[in-house]
Amino acid sequence: MSIYENKQKILAIPGSLREASLMRHLLRTLPQIAPDDMEITIFDLHEIPLYNQDIEDAAGFPPGVQAFRDAVSASDGLIIATSEYNGSVPGVLKNSIDWASRQGLLAKRPVALISGSPGALGATKAQEHLRSIVSHLGMYALPRPAVAIPKLQDKLEDNKITDELTRKFVSQWLEAFQDWIEQLNK
Ligand code: FNR
């Protein structure tokens, strides 16, 4: 039984900009398997410029950054989907986290991490780096289950996870995240 009168609002961030991004496709599958009272909205990072403290000092947050920060503030928790670039998180994702982190906005926010790759390892290294980053910020990262999906392109079709075992793991992970947020709000 959820403690939420309305739906739990989750902001889901794909750590990639490309049109055919596996991370965005993965996030689009989530609403179908999420608990009924969880509402998942995808936030794309296209409008986030490169971080430059001169810009922040002179003019505050650029509009795309402010929109991102407002969406974070309005959410009950974040989901971040990362692919792996050269053994770590993509620069666009780290850059967006840097903007969002200003003035402590991300501290104490629940977050669930997920990763995937076309290769055999599921971007586990990037996910661990991401875990280290969000922990550094004082975010409350769902400790388990951890979900890292190898050969992701073979498991997604028409906004659905076609591989049954993967779908089950991801759905259990969403339920665990819902419980995690509820525990943190007690
Ligand atoms: C990659 N890719 C990759 N994959 C991996 O498993 N480990 C890695 O270290 C890297 N490194 C890497 C660097 C760069 C610059 C690119 C462009 C790609 C492959 C990458 O995971 C793959 O392209 C994903 O599909 C990218 O995520 P999206 O865009 O599909 O969400």
Per the DSSP assignment, residues forming a β-bridge with 113 are 80
Apex 37 CA angle, 5 and 69, nearest 5: 85
Cβ 45 vs Cβ 17: under 8 Å: yes
Tokens of residue 10, six digits: 């989750």
Residues with CB under 6 A from ligand 1: 16, 18, 21-23, 83-87, 117-119, 121, 123
- The residue assigned the tokens 């599958």 is 29
| CA 87 – ligand 1 centroid, Å | 9
Residue at 9: amino acid letter: K
Tokens of residue 125, six digits: 């290294």
Residue nearest to atom 7 of ligand 1 (CA): 84
Instruction: Report residue 1's pLDDT band, with 50, 70 and 90 as the boundaries.
Output: very low
Instruction: Write out pLDDT tens, residues 133-179.
Output: 999 999 999 999 999 999 999 999 999 999 999 999 999 999 999 99
Give, for 128, the enclosing helix (H) or strand (E).
Answer: helix 124-136
Instruction: Report residue 6's pLDDT band, with 50, 70 and 90 as the boundaries.
Output: confident
Instruction: Write out pLDDT tens, residues 56-113.
Output: 999 999 999 999 999 999 999 999 999 999 999 999 999 999 999 999 999 999 999 9
| CA 178 – ligand 1 centroid, Å | 29
Quote the pTM value: 0.97
Task: Give the SS3 label for residue 44.
Answer: coil
| CA 35 – ligand 1 centroid, Å | 30
